[in-house]
Amino acid sequence: MEYYLVKWKGWPDSTNTWEPLQNLKCPLLLQQFSNDKHNYLSLVNKGKAISLKDNNKALKPAIAEYIVKKAKQRIALQRWQDELNRRKNHKGMIFVENTVDLEGPPSDFYYINEYKPAPGISLVNEATFGCSCTDCFFEKCCPAEAGVLLAYNKNQQIKIPPGTPIYECNSRCQCGPDCPNRIVQKGTQYSLCIFRTSNGCGWGVKTLVKIKRMSFVMEYVGEVITSEEAERRGQLYDNKGITYLFDLDYESDEFTVDAARYGNVSHFVNHSCDPNLQVFNVFIDNLDTRLPRIALFSTRTIYAGEELTFDYQMKGSGDISSDSLDHSPAKKRVRTVCKCGAVTCRGYLN
C-alpha cells in the first residue's frame, strides 16, 4: 500500500503524518506530486526509458527533496502573483509560471506603476493646460496644440510612425475618461504571464490573450536617474550580463530609466532583434520633453501564449543606425551576448 507523508496546513512539521491514499481528499496536490516526481525522473534520466516503479520501496531522498522544493516554490510564486496583482493599478491580470527550474520570485524587485524619481530629480506631473473638445477626433486637441497628429484611430490602434511622439489628453482636459485620446494612461488591458524561459533568458513575459497589431500593451517604468548615474550602473549591470537601463533620449540625454529594482511587468520582457513590440514616447500630464513616458505597442498580431519582446537598442527613435551603435558608450563596456535566436540577430544586447 502507498503511504504519503502529509504536512498539515497551519501545523508544524512535528505533526506530519503518514496517510494512505484513501485518506487524501486533495486531487490537485496529488496530481502535482505525481507530475513533479515524473519531471524529476525525466531530468535525471535525460530522456531514457524510465519506470515510475523503480522506487517501489520508498522515494529516493533526492526525489523527495526535489518534490518538497517544487511545492515550496509553487507556494512562493503564488504569493508573489497575489502581491503583483494587489500592487498593479491596471485592468489586465498578472500571472506567474515556472515549469523549467526551481527559481523562485526575485528577491530584490519592487513593483511600481509609474516613474520613481531618484533623490534630487523632480517629476512635475501636473499639466498646465488641457483641451475643451467635445470630440477629440475632429477638434483641435492636445496633439494639434503640440504640433503633432493624434496618435490613434477609432479602433484604439496607433497610426503614427515610430519616432513620432504621442500627446494624450490630460487631467486638465474637459473630455471624459472615454475620450479616444486616452489609451496609455489607462494601463495594460491584457492578461500577461511572467514565465521562466527554457532558452536561458531567465524570466520572460507572454500574453494570455490575442493582441491586435498596433495596440498599446504596457509602459516601461522604473527609477528615473541621471545619465551619469546610468553610466556607473551600466558598468555593474554589464558585468552581471543584465540590462535594465532605458535612455530617455527623445530630445536630450539627461535622464535614464532604470528598471533593475523598481519596475512593472516590462522589467521581465526580453530583448529580441526581431521584436513584436515597438517603443513610443508619450506625454500626458508631464510635458517636459526630457522626461517622456515610454509605451510599448504591438507591431503585429500577437497570439495567446506568444512571448512579448522589444529591441533594447530602439530607445523610441524607431531607427537603429550603425553609426549610432558604433559610438555607443556600451562599446567600451563588457558585451552581453544576445540569445534572441532571430534570423536578424545582431549578436549582442549592447
* CB-facing half-sphere around the CA of 208: CA atoms within 13 A: 14
Residue 256's CB: how many other CB atoms inside 10 A?
24
* Amino acid letter for position 59: L
Can you tell me the distance from the alpha carbon of 135 to that of 234, in angstroms, rounded to the nearest whole number? 45
* CB-facing half-sphere around the CA of 143: CA atoms within 13 A: 20
Give the three cell numbers for residue 340.
534572441
- The single residue of 111, 244, 250, 312 carrying the catalytic annotation is 312
Contacts of 82 (CB under 8 A, 6+ apart): none
Q: Binding site membership for Zn(2+): which residues?
A: 131, 133, 136, 141-142, 169, 173, 175, 179, 273, 338, 340, 345
Query: What are the b/e assignments for 200-239, b being 16+ CB within 10 Å?
Result: ebebbbbbeeebeebbbbbbbbbbbbebebbbebbeebbe
Q: Binding site membership: which residues?
A: 131, 133, 136, 141-142, 169, 173, 175, 179, 273, 338, 340, 345
Residue 115 backbone phi and psi in degrees, to 5 = -55, 140
Q: Which of 115, 151, 153, 119 is nearest to 258 (CA)?
A: 115
CA dihedral of 199, 200, 203, 205, whole degrees rounded to 10: -30
**Could you tell me where the beta strands, DSSP code E, fall in 198-324?**
203-207, 216-220, 223-226, 245-248, 255-258, 262-263, 270-271, 277-283, 293-298, 309-310
312 carries an active-site annotation: yes
- The single residue of 66, 115, 220, 250 carrying the catalytic annotation is 220
Adjacent-strand bridge partners of 226:
255
Secondary-structure percent of the chain, ordered helix, strand, coil, rounded to 5: 25, 20, 55
Residues 258, 222 contacting (CB under 8 angstroms):
yes
Reading across the β-sheet that carries 166-167, which strands appear in turn? 166-167, 277-283, 293-298, 216-220
Catalytic residue numbers read 220, 312
